[in-house]
Structure 1
């Protein structure tokens, strides 16, 4: 019997489908690479572009060399939906994707600010953080957009988030740091850490002390973003705190459930 998969889109679970059927639905644009698939062998939902069996197919798309060909002019929403963006991961080109899909990937932490992307108007592959279209000001403007299709992607998070206050002990296998949680979800957290020397892609061990009704818990994380902030409340600090976005890579089921319960109540 062929292996079966279930698909999820906007909270609806459908299937089961064979591997071939899922690919046909993507080709027909009934589903996107950013939709979720459930594989019983894996035991959890993950984005199609993250699933090894489907990501392999995506990586087989023809490589596209940078070109100086100008893009046709389009309206605001239409331009964001043009599938003209490519992602470079581990030597493979993935795409094309539209700008909105890349923004959704940034939210879902399947694309990071240190990953390389390319578009016909770029002279070469650039990191997401270096491309103006993905600057914090541009994304904030999209989030505040009155265009329904554009604004909607900011409400399709896989994990609900909530403000969360708890102190942290952070370890990177060399040094122990102290920190403070700012927000949390079952998939990761936003934290302040008293060092500017940690980098995206680096793994950390975090011990969250009790806070806001969530028991203490430990988590192995990967840094996915880094932002320098000014701590106006602590002008005497010798080191300005740095806000890091982290993705949980190892987290106990009991801790995950406690976080889900907390974020659901806070919503």
Structure 2
């Protein structure tokens, strides 16, 4: 813990984009870049305490658990995080998606009333692209519904649906069917049973 604390609070960081190196940056600046969609899990960074350039997604300093701890403990770096306007829940449920050319499957990792983080069986989708996502009937979802979405972020993922896929996509909802909005509200703002929260599938994030 102490090593990570020292590295994040005092060390200057550098970013590799193509053949160009940028920096130095403070750790807080990199957090802001991640929040703004300017730095991704598949980008390489380096700091003096590291032997080699390393993917952001492979570093403990930028892990989900580490960043959550900064917020929960009111660390002085917590000011770098944007305040969420919509509650978010971790939710794994199957989806289909369509980009006007191809259907592909996947699953959600988290949802809010404003968007979702999904793992899709297509690594070639681009930022700003619009896709239709169908939330399939599952143990967590009693009825199917569609959501027109815009891709706002794409992240490297070690979790793969198959050899073709290795990306998470953050999507913003542009239009959601009425029954879908009702289900999203239930997931994120109440109505979740004790059994659902205890099995680790659903967890509310303020």
**Normalization by structure 2: what TM-score?**
0.58
Shift of 1:227: 2.2
Instruction: Indicate whether 1:161 and 2:88 are aligned.
Output: yes
The size of the alignment, in residue pairs, is 154
In structure 2, distance between residues paired with 1:257 and 1:105: 33
The reply on whether 1:144 has 2:69 as its aligned counterpart is yes
Change (3 A) 1:243 1:160: same
1:63-212 aligned at under 5 Å gives the runs 76=9, 103=31, 107=35, 111-113=36-38, 128-129=39-40, 132=45, 135-136=56-57, 137=59, 138-140=61-63, 141-145=66-70, 146-151=73-78, 156-211=83-138, 212=140
The secondary structure found in structure 2 opposite 1:262 is: helix
Q: Which runs of 5+ in 2 are unaligned?
A: 1-8, 13-25, 47-55, 191-202
Distance change >3 Å, CA 257–CA 100, structure 1 → 2? farther
Deviation digits for residues 146-201 of structure 1, max 9, x if unmatched? Answer: 45443366583111111222221111111111111221111111111112111122
Instruction: Return the match for 1:243 from 168, 179, 196.
Output: 168
Contact 2:118–2:169 (Cα < 8 Å) also in 1: yes
RMSD of aligned Cα (Å) = 3.6
Unaligned ranges ≥5, structure 1: 1-75, 80-97, 114-127
Partners of 1:217 and 1:255 within 8 A in 2: yes
Q: Go from structure 1 to structure 2 and tell me whether the alpha carbon gap of 1:184 and 1:169 turns closer, same or farther (over 3 Å shift).
A: same
CA distance in 2, matches of 1:229, 1:252: 29
Deviations 1:111-137 (A, max 9, x none): 323xxxxxxxxxxxxxx345859x454
| Alignment partners' CA distance in 1, 2:86 and 2:157 | 25
Q: Which has the larger radius of gyration?
A: 1
- Change over 3 Å in CA distance of 1:99–1:261 after alignment to 2: farther
| In structure 2, C-alpha distance between the alignment counterparts of 1:206 and 1:198, rounded to whole Å | 13
